[in-house]
């Protein structure tokens, strides 16, 4: 009788431990592999830079994106029901930050791989300092992103090569960025030259 009670108590404890462990599954970002990673939305190569984002699905799969706008376009099409977590990178330090904990700066003239013009920052003060330094930009919190217009700056979109974006702002299925586009900062170190607004 005593052994039966001990076995039952042990089974209850193990079930509780498993329940707690399964309930608090942690998702983590993975490193970008420039050799193989393609954007899950536009199929462009994903550069290991400040613009890369990723979604970790509940089943453990990771979807990589070359621009935060591509990630939100994917979410608009597929929803977030199977999403475990999503991550963006700090513009200056390149560390991965959970999307909901980051701050964002938008201006149509900011150069991003697919011309959405949204940059991410781990720290609100850094985002505000960037706006002051550039003399332009709108600060956004993560909860504002789903309602953001996610417009492509067509003047910049044309620099990304054939098939990058259609006239309606949709993504093509190109294989790389054109000579005028590219990922990351320009040769002079500043990826934020002025341009026409969207």
Q: Cα separations (Å) of 52 from 22, 66, 108, 116, 132?
A: 29, 5, 18, 13, 24
Torsion-angle region of residue 98: left (phi > 0), alpha (psi -120 to 50) or beta? beta
Nearest C-alpha neighbor of 71 from the set 182, 177, 148? 148
Query: 3-state class of 4 per DSSP?
Result: helix
What pLDDT is attached to residue 14? 54
The CB-based long-range contact list for 97-100 (8 Å cut-off, 24+ gap) reads: 97/122, 99/53, 99/142, 99/145, 100/142, 100/143
Average pLDDT of the segment spanning 112-118: 96
**Residue that has been written with the tokens 């054109």 in this structure:** 178
Where residue 168 falls among pLDDT bands split at 50, 70, 90? very low
Q: Cα separations (Å) of 178 from 84, 161, 175, 193?
A: 33, 4, 10, 18
Q: What are the sequence ranges of the domains in the chain?
A: 28-147
Residue-wise DSSP of 109-150: TS--TTS--EEEESSHHHHHHHHHHHT--EEEEGGGGGGS--
Range name among 77-86, 132-141, 147-156, 181-190 with the lowest pLDDT average: 181-190
Q: Quick one: how many helices (H) and strands (E) in the chain?
A: 4, 7
pTM of structure:
0.69
Task: Look at strands 62-65 and 53-57 and give their pairing.
Answer: antiparallel
**Residue that has been written with the tokens 């590219």 in this structure:** 182
Q: pLDDT at residue 124 above 60?
A: yes
Q: Residues 86, 54: contact at Cβ < 8 Å?
A: yes
Range name among 4-8, 61-65, 86-90, 105-109 with the lowest pLDDT average: 4-8
Where residue 5 falls among pLDDT bands split at 50, 70, 90? low
Q: Give me the phi and psi of 149, to 5 degrees please.
A: -70, -25
Average pLDDT of the segment spanning 83-100: 98
């Amino acid at each position: 009788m005593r052994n039966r009670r001990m076995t039952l108590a042990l089974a209850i404890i193990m079930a509780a431990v498993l329940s707690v462990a399964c309930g608090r599954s942690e998702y983590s970002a993975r490193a970008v592999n420039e050799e193989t990673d393609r954007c899950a939305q536009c199929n462009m190569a994903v550069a290991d830079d400040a613009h890369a984002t990723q979604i970790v699905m509940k089943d453990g799969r990771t979807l990589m994106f070359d621009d935060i706008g591509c990630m939100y376009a994917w979410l608009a099409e597929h929803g977030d029901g199977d999403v475990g977590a999503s991550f963006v990178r700090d513009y200056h330090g390149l560390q991965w930050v959970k999307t909901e904990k980051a701050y964002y700066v938008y201006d149509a003239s900011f150069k991003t791989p697919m011309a959405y013009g949204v940059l991410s920052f781990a720290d609100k003060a850094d985002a505000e300092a960037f706006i002051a330094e550039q003399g332009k930009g709108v600060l956004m919190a993560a909860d504002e992103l789903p309602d953001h217009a996610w417009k492509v700056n067509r003047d910049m979109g044309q620099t990304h090569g054939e098939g990058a974006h259609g006239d309606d702002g949709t993504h093509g299925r190109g294989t790389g960025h054109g000579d005028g586009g590219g990922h990351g900062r320009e040769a002079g170190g500043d990826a934020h030259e002025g341009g026409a607004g969207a």
